[in-house]
Amino acid sequence: MADIKADETVDITDVVCPVTFVKAKVALDELDEGQILSIKLNDGEPVQNVPRSMKEEGHKVLKLDDNGDGTYQLYVEKVGE
Please tell me whether the peptide bond between 18 and the residue prior to it is cis, using omega within 30 degrees of 0.
yes
What SS3 state is found at 22?
A: helix
- Identity at 1, one-letter amino acid code: M
Rounded CA gap, 27 and 8, in Å?
Answer: 8
Rounded mean pLDDT, 47-70 = 96
- Choosing from 7, 13, 17, 65, which is the catalytic residue? 17
Q: What radius of gyration, in Å, describes the C-alpha atoms of the chain?
A: 11
Q: Which run of H or E residues covers position 21?
A: helix 19-29
Higher pLDDT, 18 or 39: 39
Catalytic site includes residue 17: yes
Judge whether residue 4 has pLDDT over 60: yes
Residue closest to 36 by CA, chosen among 55, 1, 63: 63
Does the domain formed by 8-77 have CATH 3.90.1150.10? no
Q: Residue 2 has what pLDDT?
A: 61
